[in-house]
Amino acid sequence: MATTTRAEPGQELARSETAGEHELASGETAGLVYRQRLATRLTHWVWAISLFFMLLSGLQIFMARPDLYIGQQSGFGFDNSVLSIGARRVDGAMAGVTTVFGHSFDTTGWLGVVPQGDGQAAKSFPGWLTIPGYRDLATGRIVHFFFAWVLVTTLFVWLAASAVNGHLRDLVPTGRDLRHLPGDVLDHLRLRFAHDGRYNVLQKLSYAGVLFVALPVMILTGLTMSPGVVAKFPFLIDLFGGRQTARTIHFVVMLALVLFFLVHILMVVLAGPLNELRSMITGWYRTSEKSR
């Protein structure tokens, strides 16, 4: 989603000579505001890079066992599969088949059987969707774990910096914010975006959900899949209802983060990509408000 931040009390809105205030054709006035702090900008880009490599290397790891289960155990003797990606012969030809909650779908060319070279191969995902692009579980694990620890470290750095500079307060919805939630939803549906230098309630809820719910759950479920970690912290197995359930939750949260990313990019484009990118690179954002 498009990112906006409330100006600090006493922070100059950088209008007139310092911001180059000018009149817009629509009768609006605009000025620059220092919207994104350095710590916010740096951690934002580190997260983006880390999540990209974690997604593609995670799919490489998933190919080693392209099935998801609910419960403590899995295998041929258990009927607890919720997702399975594979290949089977149909009328003498290989076909990709994806099964979700017992319902099978032909996904040839996308999942299970994918293009490779001049033909097709029995493979869960196409090469452009994994790191590395060929089957290599060991390299995939190395890449995944490296960027996982980069993400964890960056999250702690962001939490510490945001607690000091007050940015955490910007992400906590107030009662007034929640009362404006229906109107904010309607404004987004009508593609009406306020460029006033503040987070709206949808942004607060979505960013807080990612930073305080999705990422911690991703980290904890990832740790729960590690035999060495659960040997020292066995309560993680009980917390998530089993290692296989933790793996399924890990995968679902990944899909939720991909959806968030797509919506985030869409909102940036609709709200003004150059202005949004400038604020996340330089910190400066051009605000506008209707003249009365």
DSSP string, 231-258: HH-THHHHHTTSHHHHHHHHHHHHHHHH
SS3 63: coil
Does CATH place domain 16-63+135-290 in 3.30.300.30? no
Can you give the pLDDT at residue 75?
Answer: 54
pLDDT digits (tens, 9 = 90+) for 85-102: 999 988 888 999 999 999
Can you give the pLDDT at residue 26?
Answer: 39
Place of tokens 């030809």: 93
Q: Which two tokens stand for residue 201?
A: 């309630």
Place of tokens 């190395």: 142
SS3 117: coil
- Which long-range contacts does 266-275 make (Cβ < 8 Å, 24+ apart)? 267/1, 267/2, 267/188, 267/193, 268/1, 268/2, 268/3, 270/2, 270/191, 270/193, 271/2, 271/193, 271/195, 272/2, 272/195, 275/195
pLDDT digits (tens, 9 = 90+) for 16-29: 333 333 333 333 44
Can you give the pLDDT at residue 28?
Answer: 43
- Chain-centroid distance of CA 290 in Å reads 33
Can you give the pLDDT at residue 193?
Answer: 79
Angle, alpha carbons 73-75-79 (nearest 5°): 80
Can you give the pLDDT at residue 77?
Answer: 58
Q: Which two tokens stand for residue 89?
A: 């012969």
Can you give the pLDDT at residue 190?
Answer: 82
> In the beta sheet, which residues pair with residue 88?
95
Can you give the pLDDT at residue 74?
Answer: 56
Can you give the pLDDT at residue 167?
Answer: 85
Residues with Cβ within 8 Å of 285's Cβ and at least 6 positions away in sequence, in order, are 4, 32, 33, 34, 35, 36, 195, 197, 275, 276, 278, 279
- Which long-range contacts does 92-98 make (Cβ < 8 Å, 24+ apart)? 94/120, 94/122, 96/122
**Domain-wise residue ranges, the chain:** 16-63+135-290, 67-129
CB atoms within 10 A of CB 47: 18
Instruction: Pick the closest to residue 125 from 172, 63, 81 (CA basis).
Output: 63
pTM value is: 0.82
Q: What does each of the 292 residues of the chain score in pLDDT, given as a tens digit?
A: 444 444 444 444 333 333 333 333 333 445 888 888 899 999 999 999 999 999 999 999 999 999 999 877 655 556 688 999 999 988 888 999 999 999 999 999 999 999 988 889 999 999 999 999 999 999 999 999 999 999 999 999 999 999 998 888 888 888 888 888 998 889 888 888 777 767 888 989 999 999 999 999 999 999 999 999 999 999 999 999 989 999 999 999 999 999 999 999 998 898 888 888 998 999 888 887 543 3
Is the distance from CB of 224 to CB of 244 less than 8 angstroms? Answer: no
CA pair distance 55, 222, nearest whole angstrom: 13
DSSP 154: H
Q: Which two tokens stand for residue 92?
A: 């003498």
Can you list the alpha helix ranges (DSSP code H) found in the chain?
Answer: 16-19, 38-62, 137-165, 167-170, 175-179, 181-189, 201-209, 215-224, 227-232, 235-239, 243-271, 273-281
